[in-house]
Chain A
Amino acid sequence: MYRTKSGEEIFIIDGHVHNWDASPENQRNIHGKQFIDCFFGYHSALSPKEELWPKAKFEKYGAKTMYRDLFVDGPDDMAIIQPTYLLDFYKKGFNTTEQNAAIVEKHPERFILNGAFDPRDGERALDYLHELKERYGVQGLKLYTAEWKGSSRGWKLSDADAYRCFELCEKLGIKNIHVHKGPTITPLDRDAFDVADVDHAATDFPNLNFIVEHVGLPRLEDFCWIAVQEANVYGGLAVAMAFIHSRPRYFAEMIAELLFWLGEDRILFGSDYAIWTPKWLVEKFMAFELPEDIKKERGVDLSLTAKKKILGLNAAKLYGIDIEKQKKKLKAAANKMAAD
């Protein structure tokens, strides 16, 4: 819970967190090492100095640290825990749904557990979706179209096999499809994070919501264009948010674009924990105001209402969270934890 200076409570749903194991013991090959090194590069490049972690902690921090960083020291009330499998890079995977389920079972009131599928698995992908629904009751997925698999270097949301999975998602009520569309970590020329495939899928599956993580950067204009056309496309602020510290002017211009094109109802906060921790991100975001010239040129404002929506209300709507009820659940769980 975040409290404003005047005492108002802001309910925070962190739309993008991970509990990964990238320790050397779990790395399958050089790619596994280089992948976490790249994440650590993001962490080092955009964090405030006092928030920097040692490399070993960053590689594997564990569920207890995560709980503390998000909910005890951090302001999150809830968090959407997203999987990233990367089984070609890590022996047990980077953070699979099954691994994430362990922390969610301990704190069910805190987490929304998301699954994933890989359409290149064919029939097995469909079976897996059934399993995710039955075992965990997932309402959402995180898809990573650039994932390697054997000789394949990625896939597209518009692939026929992906469409079969989306059809099943509609049937099973798995409505929220988070898609990683971010900075280029691209094999060869194929731009696996090109956002055009979102356009096709969002048009053909109007009952699903597509949350484009990292707001498609560095293809912001393509993403905005698609989001204007498709009412079921949302923007996730993971990574983009971190610019608020090192490049506030840049952050202002970017968020103003999003407010102008998507509006305040379709933007979701995400810390991308453990690349960044939510405490400083939320504090800086709450204190942030758009410079006058940008407000004037774009005709938008990052008001308190907009901030509340971005930090929690928009995600609550997508995931059917009744905030007042949830607050009671959180209180009951906290009392129980104190009693234990």
Chain B
Amino acid sequence: MDQQEIRRQEVLARLERVTDPELDESVTALGFIKDIAIDAAGEVEISFRLPTYWCSANFAYLMADDMRSAVSTLPWVNAVRPLLLEHMYAEAINAGVARGASFKEVFGAEITDDLLEGLRLKFLRKAFQRRQEVVLRALLEAGWTPDAVVGLNLGELGVLVLQAPEWPALRLRYVDMRTRLATTPLGVDDPAFLTLEGAQLVPERLVAHLQALRTVRLNMEFNGAICRGLLAAREAMAE
């Protein structure tokens, strides 16, 4: 592999950690990244395309900004230019992110909320709920009782073995989000499962808790299915 290709792979690896906030899935896995151009001066241009021309500008802005900060940390990188393609606000977003402007600075006249941090948090919370649901359901399906499940701490969850091949990945994704949303550093004795509000789960309420989590997942799955389908259709139309 030549140096150019090595750098390309490094950029891709960073981009893998950038997620579509609405879907909680990586922008690389979703197929959003169209091109990565790297020049001799260490400037990186990342072309990306979303499923539609209409996708929310705030999400597009978040992703562009996340890409910029994720790739900027590579030691050889001098500048990062995310380049949103074929979007109703492509020009404004590309120019704004390039000069490090905030969303508010770019769209000040047209937006009502001040923005991105609140939005980012809102979607982290949804991701937490979705990831928790799959872990809880996996445990119950494997025969764990509600009492045993709600009693688990992070240390116990971390070493718990289930047959399902996807288990280690599900657990890792959940624990990662549990950690990111925690207000204080977590230890092995901290409970594995809390509600979004930080309350301890109780066995009698576990089924109701799961049902509430399900509606969050149904929304995200809806978005995920629509986005993937629309992106595939857009690719086909572009051909």
Listed in ascending order, the chain A residues whose CB lies under 8 Å from chain B are: 31, 34-35, 37-38, 40-46, 55, 153, 183-191, 217-221, 224, 243, 246-247, 250, 253-254, 257, 297-298
B202-219 interface code vs A (CB 8 A; 1 in, 0 out): 000001000110111011
Residue of B103, B111, B233, B234 with highest tally of chain A CB at under 10 A: B233
Contact between B234 and A190, CB atoms less than 8 A apart: no
The residues of A that contact B13 with a CB separation of less than 8 Å are: none
Q: Which B residues from 127 to 145 make CB contacts under 8 A with A?
A: none
Binds A, one of B148-156, B171-179, B224-232: B224-232
- Name the prevailing secondary structure of the A interface residues: helix
Contact between B226 and A153, CB atoms less than 8 A apart: no
Can you list 28 A-B pairs with a CB-CB distance of less than 8 A? A34-B54, A37-B237, A40-B237, A41-B51, A41-B233, A42-B233, A43-B233, A44-B229, A44-B232, A45-B228, A45-B229, A55-B237, A184-B56, A185-B54, A186-B54, A188-B89, A188-B107, A189-B107, A189-B111, A189-B119, A190-B112, A217-B219, A220-B219, A224-B215, A243-B222, A247-B221, A257-B218, A298-B211
Q: How far apart sit A43 and B223, CA to CA, in the bound complex (Å)? A: 15
Q: How far apart sit A123 and B192, CA to CA, in the bound complex (Å)? A: 58
With A188-B110, A247-B225, A257-B218 as given contacts, are A45 and B230 in contact (CB-CB < 8 Å)? yes
B220 within 8 A of A: yes
Listed in ascending order, the chain B residues whose CB lies under 8 Å from chain A are: 22, 51-58, 88-89, 103, 107, 110-113, 115, 119, 207, 211-212, 214-216, 218-223, 225-226, 228-230, 232-234, 236-237
- In the assembled complex, the CB of A315 is this many whole angstroms from the nearest CB of chain B, namely 24
The residue in chain B whose Cβ has the minimal distance to the Cβ of A38 is B52
The residue in chain B whose Cβ has the minimal distance to the Cβ of A31 is B88
Contact between B211 and A297, CB atoms less than 8 A apart: yes
With A224-B215, A257-B215 as given contacts, are A189 and B115 in contact (CB-CB < 8 Å)? yes
- In the assembled complex, the CB of B228 is this many whole angstroms from the nearest CB of chain A, namely 8
Partner of A189, one of B51, B113, B214: B113
Q: How far apart sit A297 and B218, CA to CA, in the bound complex (Å)? A: 16
Contact between B53 and A37, CB atoms less than 8 A apart: yes
The residues of B that contact A31 with a CB separation of less than 8 Å are: 88
Partner of B226, one of A34, A42, A254: A42
Q: How far apart sit A43 and B234, CA to CA, in the bound complex (Å)? A: 12
- Further contacts, 20 of them, CB under 8 A, given A45-B229, A217-B222: A34-B52, A35-B54, A37-B52, A37-B234, A38-B52, A42-B229, A44-B233, A45-B230, A45-B233, A55-B237, A183-B226, A184-B56, A186-B54, A187-B110, A190-B113, A191-B56, A219-B219, A246-B229, A247-B221, A253-B214
Q: How far apart sit A253 and B230, CA to CA, in the bound complex (Å)? A: 22
With A42-B226, A253-B214 as given contacts, are A221 and B219 in contact (CB-CB < 8 Å)? yes
The residues of A that contact B214 with a CB separation of less than 8 Å are: 253, 257
Partner of B111, one of A41, A190, A257: A190
The residue in chain A whose Cβ has the minimal distance to the Cβ of B58 is A189
Q: What 4 A-B pairs have minimum CB-CB distances, sorted nearest first?
A: A45-B229, A41-B233, A221-B215, A34-B53
- In the assembled complex, the CB of B86 is this many whole angstroms from the nearest CB of chain A, namely 8
Q: How far apart sit A254 and B119, CA to CA, in the bound complex (Å)? A: 25
Residue of B111, B230, B236 with highest tally of chain A CB at under 10 A: B230
Residue of B22, B54, B228 with highest tally of chain A CB at under 10 A: B54
The residue in chain A whose Cβ has the minimal distance to the Cβ of B231 is A41
Q: How far apart sit A190 and B56, CA to CA, in the bound complex (Å)? A: 9
Q: How far apart sit A41 and B237, CA to CA, in the bound complex (Å)? A: 9
The residues of B that contact A190 with a CB separation of less than 8 Å are: 111-113
The residues of A that contact B230 with a CB separation of less than 8 Å are: 38, 41-42, 45
Contact between B229 and A250, CB atoms less than 8 A apart: no
Q: How far apart sit A35 and B52, CA to CA, in the bound complex (Å)? A: 9
